[in-house]
Amino acid sequence: MTFTFIALISFFAALVRSTLGFGESLIAVPLFLLFLPARTAVPLAVMLSVVIALVILARDYRNVHFSSAKWLVLYAVLGIPVGVAILIHAPGGLIKTILAILIIAYALYALYTSASVRRTNVPRYALFLCGFTSGVLGGAYGLNGPPLVIYGNLRQWSAAHFRATLQAYFLPVSLISVLIYRQQGLISTQVIDLFILALLPSIPAIFIGRYLNKRLPKPLFFQYCYWGLIGIGIILLLTTYG
């Protein structure tokens, strides 16, 4: 049953990522943690992110905002080792609690932030903070997305630029994270076996997501995803302290 749930989670996470351009770790990591320890769940989700980003970027690379992507990647690289140290040394219950709080806070931010607070002239320190924080969160929890989404919202990127630029970030940063995980002995035989299992349903989900991306009403779909994330965060807290 665990393998079945891992496959189903991977399919849904890849579907959301392909449809929206982000979000698979927000779904995959907390749900993986219901069945796997953090030292297995996080590397598994990040390895899956590499493949998803590669497939999507092969199609959308013309829409990448390279100027922002390169600095986000650079600043994230500085934060990844901090995040990996947190993953290795922090108690599992603490990791789940922080992850749940971050997910709920991000979903509420995305649901209720007014478009009037978004800016096109974003200060450089915001680029650094979003990039570095995404690296820390990615290394520790596989949760790169929220700071990037906030930055993209501030820049008022179009949907096409938003989706493509995030993939240009996710691909190198996820690869670097995987290399660090391997160096720290976190890429075990179990992680590799689960990655192969997760990859099988993820590939068709990517192409289904491309189809949905052109046809689903974006605002409504975003709202469903964000409320779903709040539910996942609550479930994660209940399973940690229940």
> What are 130-169's pLDDT values in tens digits?
999 999 988 888 778 888 878 887 787 777 788 788 889 9
Paired tokens of 99: 């992850």
pLDDT per residue over 113-131, tens digit each? 754 444 556 788 889 999 9
Which sign does the torsion angle of CA 22, 24, 30, 33 carry? Answer: negative
Average pLDDT over residues 28-41: 90
Q: What is the largest CA-CA distance in the chain?
A: 50
How buried is 242 (Cβ within 10 angstroms: 0-12 exposed, 13-18 middle, 19+ buried)?
exposed
Higher pLDDT, 47 or 226: 47
Residue 131 · residue 71 · CB < 8 Å? yes
Paired tokens of 114: 């007014």
For 68, list phi and psi in degrees, rounded to 5: -75, -40
Average pLDDT along the chain: 86
Which residues lie below 8 Å from residue 230, measured CB to CB, with a gap of 6+?
103, 104, 107, 108
At 212, the amino acid letter reads L
DSSP letter for 21, please: S
| Total-model pTM | 0.78
Instruction: Look at residue 116 in the predicted model and tell me its pLDDT.
Output: 45
How buried is 219 (Cβ within 10 angstroms: 0-12 exposed, 13-18 middle, 19+ buried)?
exposed
Residue 218 in this model has a pLDDT that exceeds 70: no
Average pLDDT over residues 188-195: 95
Instruction: Look at residue 154 in the predicted model and tell me its pLDDT.
Output: 78
